[in-house]
Amino acid sequence: MTHSLKFIEAVKWPLKTENFANPHNNLAWQNELVEAVAGFSTFILKQAELKQFPEIIALAYWFRPAHLKQLQTEQVASDKVRPLVGRAAGKVFHIAPANVDTVFLYSALLSVLCGNQNIVRISERSGDITSMLVELLKIYCQSPTGKLLANYLAVAEYSAQLENVTAQLSRWCDLRVIWGGDQSIAAISQIEPNTKQIEFPDRYSIALLSLNKDIKQTAQQFLTDVLPFNQQACSSPKAIYWLNVPEEKQQDFWLNIENLLPNSRNQLTMSNKVEQHILLQKLAVEHGIELANHTGKSFAKIKSIGPLGQCKVKNLTSEMLVAHSGNGLVLQTDIEDVAAIANSEKLQSVIIDDQTLGEALQVGKRFVQIGQALAFDTVWDGLDLIDVFALK
């Protein structure tokens, strides 16, 4: 089946070379392909001015040559790769979320490594980080090592209202990958409903802290997890469960946060602060959240710590955490036993500062060391992406 990928509608192609439309061989985990992807990482890490964007650096670090070599060795040894090589490349259509998260690019590049041709749809309202990444890809794909990548990766930008474009791309692909939220997934699933698809719906994450280690370091790691993407990524901690942590230690933690914040890059502004106040009221109206410490009619309901806000609550349900819209508000609650953590289908990462806690956890899809919450893993949301992208 051939599709010309020509559209009458307003579809922009920030990245698509003429050669992309030609048939390409499946080069799953072959040296030249691994080098083409690793080259993008090297290209990013060479740009000094990108150091100020931790999200981009993290992406480049993940795709660094040494790491890809390691994955390549595992894959080639696994016997899964050989039957694929030399066949026509599979076709994967990725629908990225607007505004937050670079995670869609991890999945797209991983799919490239698995031998597929990929089209990534980005929203015309995408955030700065996304635009910057697309621009970087464009430049890199013109370099000698990048040329090969361009055969396997294209980026389309169009409004989601253009459903026939989504339909056409869905017919083009062998697999459709949709990054949340739930409403988008429901809406897109209606378009060409027989398309094979994987989806990453709305998730929330929490931190479970015992503060048994260096508090300053823990505070720094917490900021690494909570600040990027305005706390709106699926893996951003929305709340801290304090596991038998005395109040003075918690205050020490927040004091450290306060001291570290001026040197921690973030994009939170005055309007996020207003959103924090509104969010607390919405959680009260909709889910009956109650503050634990209130001092009469004083108005300091949310304690403001630089651009972050924190408040301790009496009750913390998964519905509240699902409704939590980020913006830098950290809810907290004291617990004596991990069993007190509300489990939910929507709970993704449990971020821990004590390795021994992981074993006891019966909640969430993933537990992760503090400071690593946003780190990408080939198993995401319980799905082994390398397996999925092998398109058997």
Partner 1 sequence: MQIDDYNNAAVFSQFPVYGLNSAEKQAFLQQRLNWLTHHHATHCPEYARLLTCIGEVNSPMCNIEHIDQVPPVAARLFKDYGLKSIKDEEVFRLMRSSGTSGRQSQIYLDADSAKLQSQILVKTLQHWLGKQRRPMLIIDAKETMQNKNGMSARAAGLQGMSFFGRNHCYALDENMQLRIDEVKSFIEQYHNQQIFIFGFTFIVWQQFIQALQSLGLKFNLQQAILIHGGGWKKMQQQAVDDKTFKQQINAQLGDVSVHDYYGMVEQTGTIYMQCEHGHLHCPVWSDVVVRDINSLAQLKNGQQGLLQVNSALPTSYPGHSILTEDLAVIHGEDDCPCGRLGKYFTLHGRVPNSQVRGCSDTFS
Report the C-alpha gap between 319 and 316 in whole angstroms: 8
Residues between 126 and 155 with contacts to partner 1, criterion CB under 8 A: none
Residues between 289 and 308 with contacts to partner 1, criterion CB under 8 A: 289-291, 294, 297, 299-302, 304
In the bound state with partner 1, the residue whose beta carbon lies nearer, of 274 and 339, is: 274
The residue range among 78-86, 107-115, 230-238, 248-256 that interacts with partner 1, by the rule CB under 8 A, is: 230-238
For position 345 contacting partner 1 by CB under 8 A, the verdict is: no
Report the C-alpha gap between 256 and 251 in whole angstroms: 9
| From 234, 240, 321, 350, residue interacting with partner 1 (rule: CB under 8 A) | 234
The residue range among 4-12, 211-219, 253-261, 283-291 that interacts with partner 1, by the rule CB under 8 A, is: 283-291
Q: How would you write 330-372 as a 3-class SS string?
A: EEEEEECCHHHCCCCCCEEEEEECCCCHHHHCCCCCEEEECCC
For position 97 contacting partner 1 by CB under 8 A, the verdict is: yes
For position 270 contacting partner 1 by CB under 8 A, the verdict is: yes
Report the C-alpha gap between 185 and 292 in whole angstroms: 37
Report the C-alpha gap between 325 and 305 in whole angstroms: 18
Contact residues for 158 (Cβ-Cβ < 8 A; gap 6+): 7, 9, 10, 11, 12, 121, 124, 165
| From 184, 197, 310, 378, residue interacting with partner 1 (rule: CB under 8 A) | 184
For position 269 contacting partner 1 by CB under 8 A, the verdict is: yes
Pick from 120, 162, 170: nearest CA to 8: 162
Can you give the length of the chain in residues?
Answer: 392
Classify 29 as helix, strand or coil.
coil
CB of 75: closest distance to partner 1 in angstroms?
29
Site residues, partner 1 (CB under 8 A): 95-101, 123, 125, 159-160, 178-185, 187-188, 200, 202, 229-230, 232-234, 269-275, 277-278, 280-286, 288-291, 294, 297, 299-302, 304, 325-327
